[in-house]
Structure 1
Amino acid sequence: MKASELRKMNLFELNTELHSLLRAQFGLRMQLATQQISNPNQLKKVRRDIARIKTILTQKSNDK
């Protein structure tokens, strides 16, 4: 997800998206541990999306 798309979201939407990405990351980590992961690059993408959302949440909380 692009940062410009995330900046258009409100805080509730960002927190919801963050929660769903954290659940997805957990699932991918479990697949990696059991060697059932089909696309290991997806873990990297999810991790970066989580960092992107956390950064934007911090920026929005500092703007107020």
Structure 2
Amino acid sequence: MNASDLREKSADQLKEDLANLKKESFNLRFQHATGSLENASRMRAVKRDTARVLTILNEKAAAAAKAE
């Protein structure tokens, strides 16, 4: 997930992506706890993607507040 791709999405799409990433993060943590996690590097990638989405959402909110 690239930041440039995320900037093209609307706030609603970003919120939907964020919800999906949080669900995936929960599932990965559950798999890790039960010992059935096969790709541990995916946990790191999901955390970083979540941070990217939150950053872009905050940028969009700041830009909207500044425009008003």
- The alignment's TM-score, normalised by the length of structure 1, stands at 0.99
Quick check: which has more Rg, 1 or 2?
2
- What count of residue pairs does the alignment treat as equivalent? 64
Moved segments of 4+, more than 6 Å:
none
Deviation of the 1:54 alpha carbon: 0.2
Distance, in Å, in 2 between the alignment partners of 1:46 and 1:35 is 18
Unaligned runs of 5+ in 2: none
Secondary structure of the equivalent of 1:15? helix
**2:6 corresponds to:** 6
1:10-58 alpha-carbon deviations (Å, 9 max, x no partner): 0000000000000000000000001100100000000000000000000
**2:55 corresponds to:** 55
- The alignment's TM-score, normalised by the length of structure 2, stands at 0.93
- What fraction of aligned residue pairs are identical, expressed as a percent? 38
